Amino acid sequence: MSSTNEKVTDALQQVRTLIEVLVRHEQLQDGLTQLPNDAALTEEFESAIGSKAKFWCAFVEIDHFKRLNDSFSYLQADAMLKRVAAHLKTAADYFPEGARAFRAHGDEFYLVGRLVPNEESGTIEANLERIRSAIEGVRIRVGDRPDPMQCTVSIGWVSTDAVSGAELTNRGVRIVLERAVAHAKRRGRNCVVHYSEDMKKTMVNTIRDTCTECQVAFTVDVSVAEYRTEHLFCPNCGYRIKRPAALPRPSEPRFA
């Protein structure tokens, strides 16, 4: 009888363990794209940083994603998210040590890969450019509409060779990547940008305004040089806003 009880206890424990594994997997997976989610990305960064592993990472953001939602519906925009995720999944084929794709939030994706000794940054950037170009080439037919749904992405990336100290944390690395993507957006989007220390030294103004096209209020940081230009681009819909005679009052210039 005791032997039978032990077998039952062992079987129940195996079931519990299996359920825990399945629940844990569900907690770390994005339901739409089946990619690892933001919580999984945090674990990836913290594990790599804690083990002092050398790695590179890229932040991939879809340009003007709200415009896709507004033009084609949320359901169709979700189809584009899945296609972008599928392209990022193939990233492992581009890099010597592979790469892991994550969907953190909405239209924000990340790639994380092991940094190979003596691997040149130009090689990583060239492979990220291949990914950017592949996504730009996606076309999704929507009903009888003559214009297919398509998108571009802005990509910012960095390796652990370029970050240290307070930046070499989960949040620190994300901030660095956000700066690189912000720089890509200032360059016109649909490009790949490698993070550099100079990006921390760019003097910026914070402008608060309302887009005349989509009527959405926004706050945007622009460099002092850009602030002096004639136009401003809405970060929500991308509309080119002509500056009024009296410019929106900026914040005091600061370093970003």
Q: Residue 187 belongs to a domain with what CATH number?
A: 3.30.70.270
Give the per-residue pLDDT at 231.
61
Is 228 part of a structural domain of the chain?
yes
In a domain? residue 6 = no
Residue 26 lies in a domain: no
d(CA 30, CA 10): 32
Q: What is the pLDDT of residue 9?
A: 67
Overall domain count for the chain: 2
pLDDT class for 166, splitting at 50, 70, 90? Answer: confident
| Average pLDDT estimate for 135-147 | 93
User: b or e along 82-98 (b: 16 or more beta carbons within 10 Å of the residue's beta carbon)?
Assistant: ebbbbbbeebeebbeee
Q: Provide the domain limits for residue 214.
A: 203-255
Are residues 233 and 190 located together in one domain of the fold?
A: no
**Together in a domain, 153 and 42:** yes
Same domain? 212 vs 181:
no
Per-residue pLDDT at 39: 94
Note whether 131 and 228 are same-domain residues.
no
Exposed e or buried b per residue across 99-123, where buried means at least 16 C-beta atoms within 10 angstroms of its C-beta: bbbbbbeebbbbbbbbbeeebeeee
Task: For residue range 39-90, list pLDDT tens digits in order.
Answer: 999 999 999 999 999 999 999 999 999 999 999 998 999 999 999 999 999 8
Residues 188 and 211 in one domain: no
pLDDT category at 165 given cuts 50, 70, 90 is confident
Q: Within a domain: residue 100?
A: yes
d(CA 136, CA 45): 28
Q: Are residues 103 and 54 in the same domain?
A: yes
Same domain assignment for residues 170 and 238: no
Q: Is residue 90 part of a domain?
A: yes
Start-to-end CA distance of the chain, whole Å, equals 71
Helices (H) and strands (E) in the chain — how many of each?
7, 10
CA–CA gap between residue 223 and residue 188 (Å, rounded)? 14
**Cβ–Cβ under 8 Å, residues 142 and 119:** no
In a domain, 27, yes or no: no
Confidence of residue 253 (pLDDT cuts 50, 70, 90): very low
Q: Are residues 40 and 68 in the same domain?
A: yes
Domain-embedded: residue 128: yes
129 falls within a domain: yes
The residue type of 249 is R
